[in-house]
Amino acid sequence: MASTPDILSIVTRPTAAVDRLLDWITPQHPIAFVRDGEGLVGIGELLRLEFRGADRFTAAAAAWSELARTAIVHDSVKRPGTGLVALGSFAFADSSDSVSVLIVPRIVVGSRDGIQWVTTITTGETSGLPGASDGLPAGPHEPAGDLVHVDFVPGEMSTKNFTKTVKAALREISRGSAAKIVIARDQSAELPADADLRLPITSLANRYPDTFTFAVDGLIGSSPETLVRVQNGAVSARVLAGSAARGDDRISDGRAAGTLMSSPKDQKEHALALASVMDALAPLSSELHAASEPFALQLPNLWHLATDIEGQLSQRSSGLDLIGILHPTAAVAGTPTPDAIRLIDELEGFDRGRYAGPVGWVDANGNGEWAVALRCAQVSGARITAYAGAGIVAGSDAKKELAETELKFRPIVEAFG
């Protein structure tokens, strides 16, 4: 873990200078977590905390707690996401070579419920509130140039190997090794050196406004799945598992949703994912509620079975505490989770990096929003790698699961295409 400064000084003030949040993201090192025009955008990197291994979540929670304890905060807005805040992204696997990070930006621009604010964060003590300036740099600036265009090709997991791996997973399921195993694959491409990443991020946010569009340390995507949200002791989550392609017209689209809702295979997959989240949250909650049946969530290219969970925490837990307890869920790993993780490691044969790991933000009071990093790609220098997966249960068909991953790649492929 990187060393931390003795003191951070934070000032949050309301502002009227923010119209569209994503206008403030930077072209090569964007930091953002937004949904339907609201959320947080970071400008510049003041502090970077890095974590690895099985204790990455507990180490992050401890480091963040200490940083928050010593911070000097002047916050006249006093809402979740104001004051000291960090945006983070965590590796999927304990053994991953990818580092997990918490990034404290120099400036945070926020918007929620019609209120906009700007937070400036510096090292060292400061006296009083800042002057008249909002703390915003010159701008905002519209993205320049054409859309980024890259040509994705199969990565470490080819399409042929994916279907073979799905069949191997089905054999393990038939032996009773697991009830569900999520198998992922990757695609990669060369990225132009001068690529303006604001363009694909804005494209994702515009096309998928009801999802969490994120950019943290090169991880870019739009996830429909809320891992957990903590707001002043209230906790909520959205579980997604089971999916189907959208129809070409109103009739076929309605038929696709109906078929998904009545599919025993997809209902079973969803029930396993829901149970894993409910079981993890129950010991920490005084109240916890979920609908008895999932609903069909409509996205531009997919239908998902979805269930919303809401509750009240029985003890003081931060978003960082909860993501360490919840991750990985059955939706991205399988059931039973320890067995599924072992089989993923044996069968997939590549490092998922931060794909399907938690991505989101946390403030000094433990509030935060964390999504599962889906429909995403990792930008590393001149290389971009996209990921997609499918939940394998008894009755899964390898060709259909391959087709499902193609649909899940589509948001990233189109945004960068």
125 labelled catalytic: no
Burial environment of residue 1 by CB neighbours within 10 A (0 to 12, 13 to 18, 19 or more): middle
Parallel/antiparallel/unpaired status of strands 8-14 and 72-75:
parallel
Contacts of 256 (CB under 8 A, 6+ apart): 244, 245, 246, 247, 303
172 labelled catalytic: no
Give me the DSSP letters along 91-126: -SSTT-SSPEEEEEEEEEEEEETTEEEEEEEEES--
Q: What is the rounded radius of gyration, in angstroms, for the C-alpha atoms of the chain?
A: 21
Please compute, for residue 134, the number of CA atoms within 13 A of its CA located in the half-sphere on the CB side. 15
Q: Check: CB of residue 209 under 8 Å from CB of residue 37.
A: yes
**What three-state secondary structure class fits 273?**
helix
How far the first Cα of the chain sits from its last, in Å, is 36
Spatial separation of the C-alpha atoms in residues 32 and 378, rounded to whole Å? 14
Q: Check: CB of residue 281 under 8 Å from CB of residue 309.
A: yes
Spatial separation of the C-alpha atoms in residues 320 and 322, rounded to whole Å? 5
**Of 172, 225, 369, 401, which residue is the catalytic one?**
225
**Of 172, 180, 369, 401, which residue is the catalytic one?**
180
Hey, which residues are catalytic here? Answer: 180, 225
